[in-house]
Amino acid sequence: MWLNMKEKQAITMEYMPRHHKATKKEKRAMLDEFTRLAGHHRKSAVRVLSYKPVNELTVYEHGVAVKFKPEKSVQSVFSHQSGCFLTFYPLAVCL
């Protein structure tokens, strides 16, 4: 069965919350069903269903943890104290 991307995303969004709450035995059965339905390989399906969005980013600046909450409108933060341009990827570019 061939599904387009929107159909795969709809199936994934339906399975994801149930997968997070399921027991190990239920997850195994759900994973078998999901791989047959969506056409993902098993390991790929595990990654897709186990995804949890990042609510907070912790950056260590001079040994002190600084926490940022990413916003949709803000893609990066400039730290004036250290002179580093911090993005919400695991990357820091110092000027």
Q: Where are the domains of the chain?
A: 5-50, 57-94
Helix (H, G, I), strand (E, B) or coil at 12: helix
Question: Would you state the torsion angle of the CA atoms of residues 32, 29, 42, 15, taken in this order, to the nearest 10 degrees?
Answer: 90
Taking only the tens place, the pLDDT of each residue in 5-46 is 888 888 988 999 999 999 999 999 999 999 999 888 999 999
To which H or E segment does residue 59 belong? strand 57-61
Closest to 74 measured CA to CA, from 85, 64, 84: 85
46 vs 27: CA distance, rounded Å: 9
Confidence (pTM): 0.56
Helices 42-50 and 5-21 sit at what angle, rounded to 10 degrees?
70
Q: Stretch 46-66: mean pLDDT, rounded?
A: 82
